[in-house]
Structure 1
Amino acid sequence: MLLDNAPLGRYRIVVNANEWKETDNDEFERAIALVGEEEQERIRKFKFIKDAKTALIGRLILNAMAVKTLGIRNASLKWKRTDKGKPFIDPACVDGISTANHYSNFSYNISHSGHWVVGASELEFPIGIDVNDHGLRPNCKIDFDEFDDVTAEENFEILKSYFSTFKHIFSPPEAKHMESLRFKSGPVRLLEFSRFWTSKESFVKVSGLGFNFDVARLHFDFSEYHQSDIPKMPTSVMAAPIKVSVDGKDVSSEWMFEQFILDRYHIVNVAIRTNPESLSNSSVYSSSSSTPSSSTSAEHILSSGEKVESEIIHASLDSKVYKEKIEHLHPLPLLLLKPADIIKYLEEN
C-alpha cells in the first residue's frame, strides 16, 4: 500500500508536478473526480493548467494522508475552509467511525513552489512544511553553473536586488550572516536565503501566529548545521540541529526541524512543535508586531480558531501524552510519489 512503510499519521510526501504532462487530460479528470465539488470548481478556475495541477496535487496529498490516518473512505472525506480559505476536515464526516479516533490530534500542512508540491502530517505534534524555489522569485535568473567564489557581475547585481527585496525577513544576526556570504557564489547565497525563508514560513504555519507576524523577530542559527549537512532526496534524514529564538529567547528545545534538498533549486523545511503545553503556559509567541518587553514576551498562545486557520487540527495538550510520545518522535525521510500513485490509492480507498 502507498503509505504503509511510514508510521501511521506521520508522513512527508513530495510530488513533482512535472510528472503530469499537459496532455494528460484523462488522468487529470480522474484525479479531480476524487475531490469535492467546491474544490473542483476552485481548481478549474485557474487560468493555467500547470497551476490547476499543482493545486489538485496538494489536495490529493491531503486526502491521502487523511484517508490513511483516519481510516475513512476518500468518498466520505469532506473538507471545509475557514474565512481565510484554509482547509480543515469537516468533523461530521468522521462521526461514528471507530478508526477516526486520531482526528483531534491530526496535524497536516502542504506547500508548493516551482514544480514541487509537498505535504506533511503528524499525530500529537503540530507540524508545518514549506518548500521554496530560490530561482523563481522574483524571476531571478541566476547562472547556477557559476560556482566561483565571486559570481559573475550580472549575477551579483541580480542577487543584490533580490536580497534587498526580502531584507525585512531577517533578524539582525541573520542579516549579518547573509552579508558575510556576499562574495560566495549565487547558488550558495540563494540556498542560505531559502533555508531562512522556509524555516520561518514553516515555523509560522505550525505556531498559528498568522502571516502578519513579523518574522524578523525569529532568529534561526545554522552554525551547527551547514549546507553540506542537509540530506539530498531521496535519503534518510536526521533531525536538523537548528537553533531558534524569538525576541532573543531561545525556544530550540520546544521545536524539531527537518531539512531536505530536493534539487539544486529547491529546499524543504519541516517544523514540529514538540512541547505545545510548555508554549501554552508561557510563550514568547505573541502575534504583536512590536517586540514585547522581557516581562511580557511569554504571555499567551493562540486560540484554537487560529490553529485551524493554519491548517492545524490539534485539541489536546496533555503533558503526559507528550512526554511519552516525544520519546518516539524521530525524523522521517521524504516519500517521493507520482501523481498516478496517489490517484490509484484514492480510487481504491
Structure 2
Amino acid sequence: MSCRYAVVYDKKADDDDDDDDDDDDDDDDGDDHVDEGDKHGDDKDDDVYAGEHWSPSPHQWELLMGLQPIEERQRISRFHFKKDAKLALAGRTLLQHAASTALNQPFGMILFGRTAEGKPYVKGPDDGRHVMPWYNLNLSHHGSWAVVAAEESCLVGTDVMTVKPQRMGEDAETFLNDFVDCLTGHEWNQIRKVGRDSNALLFAFFVFWALKESYIKAVGIGLGLSLTRIEFDVEEELLSSRPRDTHGILRRNAATMKLDGVTRSDWSFEVGQVDEEHVMAVACGPLSDAIGSFMQALRARAKLEEPPSRRGDIPGEVQLKYLEFHELLGQELGEAYGDGK
C-alpha cells in the first residue's frame, strides 16, 4: 500500500516552520482545493489530504491532544508559538491517520517510537496480526503544508518546501548564494539552465533541495550526510515548466540519483507541486539501505519476517487525493470533531 497525504495547517503560515529530523516536528525525523477522490477514483496508489485554513476551536484542540500519548502532548505544549504547536499537532494527526488506515487500526491506537536520530516509526500495537510488518512512513512540513508518505515494501521519505526565499525581502540570487556548497556543480548547471527569472530559479532549486531531503529522511540518517554526496539529474521539462493544471500530481521517475558518484537505479523519486507555492518530493528505495538504528526499529516490528524485494515502479504520474480535516479521524471522532466547532 502506497499513500501520500498532506494537510494545510495554516493558509498564511510564516515560512520559518522547517522540518529538521532531530528538532521540534514529527519528521523522520504537519487556497481551497477540490476533492480529487471522486475525480481520480479510490484505487490509486497515492493520496493527498488538503484542507481549509485550520483554526481548531478549544474543544477540537483538546480532542486531538487527548488522542496523543503523554510525551507528545508535553512536546507539543512546549512550543512557544501557537503556529508551531498547530503544525506539530496537525502532523501528528496526519501520521496517525496514515498508519491507522493502512494497518486497519482505530485512530489513536498506533504506537510510535523514535530512533536516536529522531525518525518516527510505527512501534505497535503488537496484536499478533503481523499486518504489513515493514510498513514505514515519513512526515515533512513547511510553509502552509504538512505532508506524509507511506510504503509497505520499501523505504520512503518526503519533503515539502515553500518556493520562495526563506527570509523576508531577500532576493533570489542572494538566497541561492547561501546554498552554493549544498548542491553539486552539475546540479547548479541544471538550475541555471532555466534562465534568469527569479521564480523559475527558486522553483528549480527547491526541487533539488526537496529531492535530497527526501532521500536523507528515507534512510533515517538525519543530519549526518553531506548533501553533495547526493547528486540528482532532473528532467529539464520538469524544471522549466510549472503548468498550473499539474498541481496535485507527482511525476514518477522524473529524477535519478547518484550517491558518491554511483548511479542508484534501485531508488525512484516522485516530484510535483502541492499548490502554486509548494513543491514536494518523495523517495522510495530498498529497505536494506536503512541506517542501523532505523533498521533495528523496523526489524523489531517485523520480527522474523524478511524484508520484501524492492517493488517495481511504473513510470507516470501519481494522482493526489484531497480530503477534509475531520476525515482524518474516522466517522465517530470526525463527528465529535465537527460538533466542537
How far the C-alpha of 1:17 sits from its partner, in A, is 0.9
Q: Which residue identity lines up with residue 262 of structure 2 in the other structure?
A: K
Counterpart of 2:280? 268
Aligned-residue CA RMSD (Å)? 3.0
One-letter code of the match for 1:262?
Answer: V
| Counterpart selection for 2:180 from 163, 167, 182 | 167
Partner deviation per Cα, 1:247-268 (whole Å, 9 max, x = no partner) = 22111x2111111212222100
Structure 2 residue runs without a partner (length 5+): 11-51, 336-341
SS in structure 2 at match of 1:105: coil
Deviation at 1:238, TM superposition (A): 4.0
Deviation track 1:156-201 (CA, whole Å, cap 9, x = no partner) reads xx222211211121112112333445x5211100000100000000
- What amino acid sits opposite 2:328 in the alignment? I
The alignment's TM-score, normalised by the length of structure 1, stands at 0.73
Which residue of the other structure, out of 10, 13, 17, is the alignment partner of 2:5?
13
Distance across 1 between alignment mates of 2:246 and 2:118: 33
Aligned to 1:184: 196
Measured in 1, the distance between the counterparts of 2:70 and 2:134 equals 27
Write out aligned runs for 1:150-299 (5 A): 158-181=171-194, 183-227=195-239, 228=241, 232-235=246-249, 237-251=250-264, 253-273=265-285, 275-276=286-287, 280=288
Alignment partner of 2:322: what SS?
Answer: strand
Native 8 Å contact 1:120 1:128 kept in 2: yes
State how far apart, in whole Å, the 2-side matches of 1:313 and 1:263 are: 36
Provide the C-alpha distance between the structure 2 equivalents of 1:78 and 1:23, rounded to a whole number of angstroms: 24
Alpha carbons of 1:234 and 1:180: their partners in 2 closer, same or farther (altered >3 Å)? Answer: closer
| d(CA) in 2 for partners of 1:219, 1:167 | 14
2:160 matched residue in structure 1: 131
The answer to whether structure 1 residue 109 and structure 2 residue 121 are counterparts is: no
Q: Deviations over 1:41-82 (max 9, x none)?
A: 111221222211111111111111111122222343222333
Aligned to 2:72: 39
Do the aligned residues in 2 keep the contact of 1:30 with 1:343 (CA within 8 Å)? no
2:158 aligned partner, one-letter code = I
Change (3 A) 1:314 1:54: farther
Change in Cα spacing, 1:45 to 1:221, as seen in structure 2 (3 Å) is: same
TM-score calculated relative to the size of structure 2: 0.75
Q: Give the 3 Å change call, closer, same or farther, for CA 140–346 of structure 1 in structure 2.
A: farther
What is the identity, as a one-letter code, of the residue corresponding to 2:293?
G
Does 2:341 align with 1:341? no
**Residue 213 (structure 1) shift:** 0.5
In structure 2, the residue matched to 1:95 is: 127
Are 1:122 and 2:151 counterparts? yes
Separation in 2 of the partners of 1:84 and 1:303? 10
Deviation at 1:113, TM superposition (A): 0.1
The amino acid that maps onto 1:194 is: F
C-alpha spacing 1:175/1:242, structure 2 compared with 1 (3 Å): same
Cα distance in 2 for partners of 1:128, 1:313 equals 19
Alpha-carbon spacing, 1:41–1:210, altered in 2? closer, same or farther (3 Å): closer
Query: Which of the pair has more CA radius of gyration?
Result: 1
For these two proteins, the number of residue pairs brought into alignment is 290
Q: Hey, what does 1:322 align to over in structure 2? A: 309
Q: Give identity over the alignment, percent.
A: 24
Q: Which amino acid aligns with 2:321?
A: L
Aligned AA (1:10)? S
Shift of 1:220: 0.7
Letter in 1 for 2:238: H
2:32 corresponds to: none
For residues 121-161 of structure 1, what are the alpha-carbon distances to aligned partners after superposition, in whole Å with 9 as ceiling and x for unaligned? 01111110000013252x1436xxxxxxxxxxxxxxx2222
1:58 maps to which residue? 91
Q: Distance in 2 between matches of 1:331 and 1:202?
A: 18
Q: Distance in 1 between matches of 2:112 and 2:185?
A: 41
| Partner-residue secondary structure (3-state), 2:95 | helix
In structure 2, distance between residues paired with 1:41 and 1:127: 28
**Distance across 2 between alignment mates of 1:313 and 1:272:** 20
**1:301-320 superposed matches below 5 A:** 301=289, 303-307=291-295, 318=307
**2:29 match:** none
